[in-house]
Structure 1
C-alpha cells in the first residue's frame, strides 16, 4: 500500500493534543555501524509528550519498560504496551506519542542486520529478547561507554537478538488507513467520533456502497475485518482517556461500547491488562 497522509485523529485522540513536543531525540548520536551494529538509547518522557516526525537510514526497535506509547507513520498508528516492541523499517518517517509516563527504549540496527520487513511490525517481547535489548549500552557518541566492552558485547548480542526477532510473535495493534476514497471516508468518520454505534451497513450506505463491498475493501486494503479495524481504532482513542483518569464506564461509552464488560474484555485482550489495572499502574 503506498504511503498516504494520515489524519490528525490517528496521531492522537480527539481533544487530547500533546502538551509537549520534542525533536527526534538525537538519533545521529547512536548511529549503528560495522563496529557497533547495535546501538541502544533510553529516554524518560512524560505523558502527553510527542516526539516529532523524523526518519533515519537504519531500522529500529521501539519499546518501553513502562508506559504505553503510540507510534504513528504515514499510513497508520501502532499501540505499543510494555509487553511488546515495534519494528520500524529504515527510512520510514515516524512520530511517537506518550500515552502515559514512559521509559522509552530504542534499539538501532545496522542496515545489514535484521529481518527484511518492509512495514512496521508489533512483536511480543520474549524474556530473552527483553534481556538482550536491556543489556545494550545506552551511552551516546562523544562520551565513553559505561561498559568499556560495549562494542564487543554488541557484536556478540547482534545475531542472537536478530534470531529472537525472527521468532517473535507478530501482533496487530495498529490503525491502518486505506487508499480507497470511500473506505477512507468511512474510517475517518469513525476516528472523528468513535462513540457512534452505527452498523457497517449504515456506514456503507452513507458512502454510497453496499455492506458486502465495504467488508471486501477492508479485507483487500487493510488485511482485517471491519470489526478488527474498529477495535484498533477504539483502542487508540480509549488509551489516552484512561491515562487521564476518566472513569472506565465513561471511556466505554465514549468508545461506542454498550456495556463496560464488553469494553473491558476487548481492552484486556489487546493490552494484556484490564482498564482499571492500566489506570492503577499509571497512578502508582
Structure 2
C-alpha cells in the first residue's frame, strides 16, 4: 500500500497564498490514497474542502471526516495533520482577518452548490486580484456564504491521556462493535469504572457514545466510497443489516441509501 508524507512547506504557491494581502486566496492540491500531510499550522485561517475523495483531519482536540459535501474551518495557528482516505482532489481557501468569519475553533460546515462553485471559480483568479475585480467580488461572496453556512456536529473528540489515546487509535484503525468496555479496560490494565470516567472527562462522551460516533463517521466514509450498506454493516460488526440501518437513520435522519453523501457526484473543475 502506497503511503507518502507530503511536506507542503516547500510549496511556492502555498507561500504566496499565505503572504498575499487579500481576504481570500485559493489553492488546489491533488493527493493519492493514504498520502499524509504531517502536523503543521498556517498564519491564515483555512477552509479545507475536497471536490473528490475523503480526508481525515486531526488536531489535539479531535478528528473530523470530510466528504465532498463538507468542509472544515481551521482557524489560523491551529496545528493539524491530514490523512487521505483514497485519492483526494483538495480545493482549499486561505482567509485573513478582513474576511470577518466568526468561527473561533475548528468547525465542519456544509458546502452549498453556490459555495462549491465559488471555491472552484476562485482558483481561476490570480492571488493578487484587483480590488474591484471578479476575484474580489467572488471573495466577498465566499465570506458571505461562510457567515451563514450550517455548522455540522461531525467531530470525534480525541483524548489527551496517552493510554486512552492508544485505545482510541486502535479502535479507529479497526472500527467495529466488537470489544466492550471490559475488553478495553483490560487492554489498558484499568477497571471499567476508571475507563468510563476517563472517557467522560477526556472526551465529554461515554464509551458507548464515543464509539457510536466513530462507527457513524466510518460508515459514512465507506458509503461515500460506494460500498453497499450490507457490506458496511458486516464490516462494522452489526448483528444485522436492519440494526445498522436503524442506527444510521436515528443518527442522521436518512437511511444509508438515502444519505446525501452517497449521492454526491464528482464533477470536474470548470
Task: State TM-score, norm by structure 1.
Answer: 0.70
Residue 63 of structure 1 aligns with which residue? 49
How far did 1:68 drift? 1.8
Q: Counterpart of 1:165?
A: 146
For residue 130 of structure 1, give the secondary structure of its aligned residue in structure 2.
Answer: helix
Is the alpha carbon distance of 1:262 and 1:61 closer, same or farther for their aligned partners in structure 2, counting shifts above 3 Å? farther
Q: 1:260 aligns with which of 227, 241, 249?
A: 241
Offset from partner CA, 1:64-97 (integer Å, 9 cap, x none): 1222222222333210111111001111222222
2:17 to 20, 25, 30: 30
Q: 1:137: how far off?
A: 3.0
Residues paired across the two proteins, number: 258
- Confirm whether residue 208 of structure 1 aligns to residue 191 of structure 2: yes
Is the 1:249–1:260 Cα contact (8 Å) retained in structure 2?
A: yes
Alignment TM-score, normalising by the size of structure 2: 0.73
- In structure 2, the residue matched to 1:100 is 86
Equivalent-residue separation in structure 2 for 1:220 and 1:157 (angstroms): 43
Q: CA deviation at 1:197?
A: 2.7
CA shift digits 1:33-56 (9 cap, x unpaired): 43x221011133332222333221
1:1-284 equivalence runs, <5 A: 19-24=3-8, 26=11, 27-31=14-18, 33-34=20-21, 36-138=22-124, 152-180=133-161, 184=165, 187-188=168-169, 190-191=171-172, 193-195=174-176, 197-200=178-181, 203=184, 207-210=190-193, 214=196, 218=199, 221-235=202-216, 249=230, 251-264=232-245, 274=256
Name the stretch that deviates more: 24-33 or 69-78: 24-33
- The CA deviation at 1:228 is 3.9
Aligned-pair distance for 1:267? 5.8
RMSD: 3.9
What is the CA-CA distance between 1:105 and the residue it aligns to? 0.6
5+ residue gaps, structure 1: 1-16
- Which runs of 5 or more structure 2 residues have no equivalent in the other structure? none
